[in-house]
C-alpha cells in the first residue's frame, strides 16, 4: 500500500496518508485542515526509535531516497 508520511507547513503536524497513483492533491492536514502539506521522502526518521526526528528536507536513511528502503522495509 502506498502510504506516505506528510508534514503540515502550517502547524507542523505529521501524519500518514494512503496515496493512490502518487497523487497528493487534496491531502489535508488532519489537525488544522491545511492543504499546505509536504510529502516526506524518508520514513526512516519516523520509524527509527519511534521518535520524530526533525529534519529540513534531509533524509535520515539513504536507502529511502528512491522510495524503497531495505532498512525500514518500504
What is the nearest approach in angstroms of Zn ion to the Cβ of residue 31? Answer: 5
The sheet carrying 3-8 orders its strands as: 14-18, 3-8, 37-40
Residues at the contact surface with Zn ion, assessed by CB under 5 A: 8, 10-11, 13, 29, 31-32, 34
User: How many Å apart are CA 5 and CA 15, to the nearest integer?
Assistant: 6
What is the nearest approach in angstroms of Zn ion to the Cβ of residue 56? Answer: 18
Q: Which is nearer to Zn ion, 10 or 68 (CB)?
A: 10
- Closest to 5 (Cα-Cα) out of 71, 49, 62, 52: 52
Q: Which is nearer to Zn ion, 10 or 39 (CB)?
A: 10
Amino acid at each position: 500500500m502506498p502510504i506516505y508520511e506528510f508534514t503540515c507547513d502550517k502547524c507542523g503536524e505529521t501524519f500518514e496518508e494512503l496515496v493512490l497513483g502518487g497523487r497528493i492533491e487534496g491531502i489535508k492536514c488532519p489537525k488544522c485542515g491545511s492543504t499546505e502539506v509536504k510529502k516526506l521522502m524518508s520514513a526512516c526518521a519516523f520509524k527509527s526509535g519511534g521518535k520524530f526526528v526533525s529534519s529540513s528536507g534531509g533524509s535520515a536513511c539513504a536507502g529511502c531516497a528512491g522510495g524503497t528502503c531495505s532498512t525500514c522495509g518500504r
